[in-house]
Amino acid sequence: MNNSVSIKDIAKKFKCAPSTISRALNDHPAINIETRKTIQEYALKVGYQKNTLSLSLLNNCSMTLGLILPSITHFHESSMLEGLEDILLKSGYLLNICVSNESHTIEKEYIDRLLANRVDGLFISMAQESYDQQLGEHIDRVIQRSLPVIFIDRPNHGVASDRVVTDDYQGAYMATKHLIDMGCLRIAHLHGPSGISVSKQRFLGYQDCLLAHGRKVEEKWIQYVHFSAESAIAATRNLMQLDQKPDGIFGVNDEVCLAAMHVLRDLGISIPQDVAIVGFDDIPLASFGYPPLSSVSRQSRRIGEEAAKLFLSKKTHNKSPITISLDPKLMIRDSSLRVMMN
Amino acid sequence: MNNSVSIKDIAKKFKCAPSTISRALNDHPAINIETRKTIQEYALKVGYQKNTLSLSLLNNCSMTLGLILPSITHFHESSMLEGLEDILLKSGYLLNICVSNESHTIEKEYIDRLLANRVDGLFISMAQESYDQQLGEHIDRVIQRSLPVIFIDRPNHGVASDRVVTDDYQGAYMATKHLIDMGCLRIAHLHGPSGISVSKQRFLGYQDCLLAHGRKVEEKWIQYVHFSAESAIAATRNLMQLDQKPDGIFGVNDEVCLAAMHVLRDLGISIPQDVAIVGFDDIPLASFGYPPLSSVSRQSRRIGEEAAKLFLSKKTHNKSPITISLDPKLMIRDSSLRVMMN
DNA sequence: AAATTTTACGCAAACGTTTGCATTTGAGGT
DNA sequence: ACCTCAAATGCAAACGTTTGCGTAAAATTT
């Protein structure tokens, strides 16, 4: 079944000790230079490949990391993964990817497997279930092993550890402020799944911005949606059936906004004149919506990069927990850019 | 640094042999039922976690697989990954994710690391560089170790191994046929990056369908693009500056089509009356384009599921290489649904 | 009471690699 | 011929776990 050749096999071939082979392959100066050459050439010929598992066992270091995400199909998540990979590739690590599907049970199962495989660290964006039910002891188990745990996007209630996030609050504030600047008087919000930090922070930014500018936060203008486009259909229709229709929408992400624009077009409502709209994430297709969708960029790829760098710095220094918060950027496009006439 | 407790540690605590602990934890009947209980409780209390690495070493089986992709940010790829994960989760495997970024060098590096970590199998969608330069010996090295290698999407020139793909040719044929049925006389194609199988197959399906229906395949109606939306901007403009403008477009994927529609709207060209358009992949946002974009669905998630199942069946049976080809489905939406008046 | 079986556990090897500490060999100096 | 020293290599333990085999003690059967 397994054809791999080991150091012992090579040792038999040369009738010498495994240690000699090991040293030869690692260019140890104590081994005769010609012996080294001969052994190295033979190893190459027979396709010898070091078995890292034995080393991991010996050194208590597997050069493998774990990444647990609720899902991976959104641009933000996959883009973040690419950022992580980019840095880890250069540092010799491998990454185990685990999709929890927002389930606490699955998350726990994956953590068990990762621990059993002795990963050297863990990046995690907690499942909604774990968050809702305030379940953190599975993460604590990891930290008790003094393994670096780096939280991504979502916070770690109770657990003291590192974090890399975008400042969702600030991003939402900027988006809402922009809508106010564009003359919107009744700004609605497509609120993300409750219990998830991202939803909450974006709502708070929206709320505080309205209050700071003397607006009221009306419950009827807040509709709850999931992160998928479909869920925004009904929500948007609801908004547009109100007596007091909104003239601005801030959505929890771009998918729901693109779906909302779809509904608005259906209803013959012009964007941005009748309703201005701003999303979040700045996915590549935002620019190609009709009209092009204004959006808050989270620098997804950089989140991954910063998380990886944070891990690498922890490996050596082991400082106290820190939070890296990246600034969001507002990308203004036609969906909110009103022709002001005053 | 590492706080993990081993079987040996527990054995010392109980002043017995490690083998006793091992058997107790694995519910071996030869161990006294009460001893078992005591040991299991203690193990739970001190947070014992089996070290899988030692077992991997012993059994030549790591319960870990590798997945190498050119990128991960497209819906098709991340969706496929979720399908893979779903099946592998149930089978106890972990998945190492590797993004090659279409680079042969990176792909080779990742394969080395995966082999060193003794993965039990490999899923791979080959990098364009490897494909362009006909480089396959790094894959051969894997197969020579008699490791299952399953190719995804892109073929394995020269290498005899399993494959899971969508029938791109058939999908493209269906899309083109649909445009013909909708009365399009001059059907253009936004051709994907050359050298990549997906691009080629979709072009061939387009070409053969045209020929089969007595149409000419005109070079001027074929524009080359990347898989990103941006790259379709210039391409679409070029098409619309021709004397003989196309009245139908089949695009290599949805991103380029959504971008193309953006350009068409800018030019005041009505969709689908002036130009009908059909994409590929059926990404979730296709439904929310303006107008909603017709598209060929590849069943991305199922590709991952089938690949995982194929691996699992190979583990036991070890049959000769097979190719699983999934049927594409044409999702007809407004972007191509013309009101026929004849 | 002797013989037999059962119960419950220990021993040691194995997986592949590294590494500190011998040990061997040969050369050079006296 | 003897001592010294360096060069080149071997030995054995270690990482954590499993497992076939051995063995002691206890329980059961004659």
Over 90: is that where the pLDDT of B136 sits? no
Tell how far CA A59 is from the center of its chain: 30
> Does residue A1 surpass a pLDDT of 60?
no
Q: Do residues B229 and B263 touch, judged by C-beta distance below 8 A? A: no
Taking 70 as the threshold, does the pLDDT of residue A2 lie above it? Answer: no
Question: Cα B178 vs. chain centroid, distance in angstroms?
Answer: 26
* pLDDT-wise least confident of A40-54, A251-265, B21-35, B310-324: B310-324
Burial of A205 per CB tally in 10 Å (0-12, 13-18, 19+): buried
**Which of A96, A258, A284 has its CB closest to that of B229?**
A284
Of B67, B82, B98, the CB nearest to A73: B82
Smallest Cα–Cα separation from A158: which of A197, A125, A131? Answer: A131
Mean pLDDT of chain A: 94
Tell me: do B135 and B39 sit in the same domain.
Answer: no
Cβ burial of A71 (10 Å; 0-12, 13-18, 19+) is middle
| Chain A 58-87 residues in 7 Å CB range of strand C | 58
Q: What is the least distance, in Å, from the CA of A216 to any CA of chain B? A: 31
Contacts of A86 in chain B (CB under 8 A): 99
Question: What is the spatial distance between Cα A249 and Cα A260, in angstroms, rounded to a whole number?
Answer: 9
Nearest CA in chain B to A95: B96
Residue A32 beta carbon within 7 A of nucleic strand C = no
Subunit contact B3:A146, Cβ cutoff 8 A = yes
B158-167 pLDDT tens trace: 778 999 999 9
- The answer to whether B217 CB is within 7 Å of strand C is no
For residue B115, the chain A residues in CB contact (below 8 A) are 49
Which chain A residue has the Cα nearest residue B263?
A288
Residues B156 and B132 both lie in one domain: yes
Q: For residue B70, what pLDDT is reported?
A: 97
Contact A113 B97 (CB under 8 A): no
Task: Say if residue A200 is in the same domain as residue A246.
Answer: yes
pLDDT band at A156 (very low <50, low <70, confident <90, very high): confident
Query: Is residue B238 in a domain?
Result: yes
User: Does the CB of B58 sit below 7 A from strand C?
Assistant: yes
pLDDT of residue B320: 86
**DSSP H/E element including A284:** none
* Shortest distance, CA B65 to any CA of chain A (angstroms): 9
Asked if residue B342 is part of any domain, the answer here is no
pLDDT score at A82: 98
pLDDT number for residue B259 = 97
- With a CB cutoff of 8 Å and minimum separation 6, the contacts of B297 are B281, B282, B328, B329, B330, B331
B293 lies in the same domain as B315: no
State the pLDDT confidence band at A318, using cuts at 50, 70 and 90. low
Q: Which range has the worst mean pLDDT, A2-11, A103-112, A293-302, B99-108?
A: A2-11
Tens of pLDDT, residues A208-242: 999 999 999 999 999 999 998 888 999 999 999 99
pLDDT over threshold 90, residue B238: yes
Residue B180 and residue B131 share a domain:
no
Contact A82 B71 (CB under 8 A): yes
- Tell me, what amino acid is at A136? G
Q: Which residues of B touch A72 (CB under 8 A)?
A: 72, 78, 81-82
Cβ of A3 within 8 Å of Cβ of B146? The answer is: yes
CA nearest to nucleotide D7 C1': residue: A30
Per the CB < 8 Å rule, is A116 touching B49? yes
Q: Which helix (H) or strand (E) holds B139?
A: helix B137-144
Residue A342's pLDDT band, with cuts at 50, 70 and 90, is low
Nearest to A285 among B72, B92, B258 (CB): B258
Alpha carbon distance A31, A9 (integer Å): 19
Q: Is A78 a domain residue?
A: yes
pLDDT at B342 over 60: no
Same domain membership, residue A251 and residue A206: yes
Residue type, B85: E
Q: How far is A329 from chain B (nearest CA, A)?
A: 20
Residue A340 forms part of a structural domain: no
- C-alpha distance from B193 to closest chain A C-alpha (Å): 19
Q: What is the pLDDT of residue B2?
A: 64
> What's CA A199's distance to the chain center, in Å?
15
What band does A325 get if pLDDT is binned at 50, 70 and 90? very high
Residue bearing tokens 């009709």: A290
Q: What CATH number has the domain bearing residue B218?
A: 3.40.50.2300
Residue A160 CB lies within 7 Å of the nucleic strand C: no
Whether residue A144 and residue B115 make contact (CB cut-off 8 A), yes or no, is no
Chain segment B280-296, per-residue pLDDT in tens: 999 999 999 999 999 99
The first and second tokens of residue A76, run together, are 């933000």
pLDDT at A319: 73
Contact, A30 CB vs strand D, < 7 Å: yes
Does B183 fall in a domain? yes
Local structure of B193: helix, strand or coil: coil
- Please, which pLDDT band fits residue B315 given cuts at 50, 70 and 90? confident
Three-class SS state of A313:
helix
Q: How far apart are CA B224 and CA B105, in angstroms?
A: 26
Residue to test with chain A: of B1, B3, B49, B53, most A Cβ within 10 A: B53
- Kindly tell me if the per-residue pLDDT of A195 is higher than 60: yes
Inter-helix orientation angle B7-14/B33-45, to 10°:
120
Residues A148 and A234 in one domain: no
Same domain, residue pair B44 and B101: no
Residue B341 pLDDT class (50, 70, 90 cuts): low
- Average pLDDT estimate for A83-94: 98
Report the C-alpha dihedral over residues B263, B265, B266, B267, rounded to 10 degrees: 90
By Cβ distance, the residue of B81, B99, B287 closest to A72 is B81
Based on the domain organization, do A177 and A96 belong to the same domain? no
B132 confidence band (pLDDT: 50, 70, 90): confident
A76 found inside a domain:
yes
Looking across all nucleic acid strands, the nucleotide with the smallest C1' to CA distance from residue A36 is D8
Distance from CA of A72 to the nearest CA of B (A): 6
Position A302 scores a pLDDT of: 97
Of A53, A55, A234, A109, give the one whose Cα is nearest residue B53: A53
Neighbouring C-beta atoms of residue A210, cutoff 10 Å: 22
Residues 38-57 of B, Cβ under 7 A from nucleic strand D: 48-51, 54-55, 57
Instruction: Give the closest of B3, B52, B145 to A144, CB-based.
Output: B3
CA angle B249, B252, B257 (to 5 degrees): 55
Alpha-carbon distance B178 to nearest alpha carbon in chain A (angstroms): 24
Q: What is the mean pLDDT of residues B36-56?
A: 96
Q: Is residue A74 part of a domain?
A: yes
- Asked if residue B109 and residue B41 are part of one domain, the reply reads no
| Residue B56 is assigned to a structural domain of this protein | no
| Res A159: pLDDT | 79
Contact residues, chain B, for A6 at CB < 8 Å:
none
Same domain for B163 and B304, yes or no, is yes
- Name which residue leads in pLDDT, A196 or A295: A295
- B270, B334 contact by CB (below 8 A): no
Chain A residue numbers with beta carbons less than 8 Å from the beta carbon of B261 are: 288, 290
Domain with B288 in it: 168-298
Q: Is the pLDDT assigned to residue B241 strictly greater than 90?
A: yes
φ and ψ of B86, to 5 deg: -55, -50
Chains A & B: contacts with CB separation below 8 Å: 168
Write out chain A residues lying below 8 Å of B60, CB-based: 1-2
pLDDT of residue A202: 97
CB A218 within 8 A of CB A243: no
How many domains does one find in chain B?
3
Residue with tokens 């490999």: B122
Q: How far is the CA of A16 from the C1' of D9 (A)?
A: 8
User: Phi and psi (nearest 5°) for A97?
Assistant: -100, 135
User: How far apart (Å, rounded) are the C-alpha atoms in residues A256 and A336?
Assistant: 15
3-state secondary structure A304-325: HHHHHHHHHHHHHHCCCCCEEE
SS3 B17: coil
pLDDT band with cut points at 50, 70 and 90 for residue A340: low
CB of A291 within 7 Å of some strand C atom? no
Q: Do B94 and A85 touch (CB under 8 A)?
A: no
Q: Are residues B36 and B141 in the same domain?
A: no
CB contact under 8 A, B97 and A97: yes
Q: Are A159 and A225 in contact (CB under 8 A)?
A: no
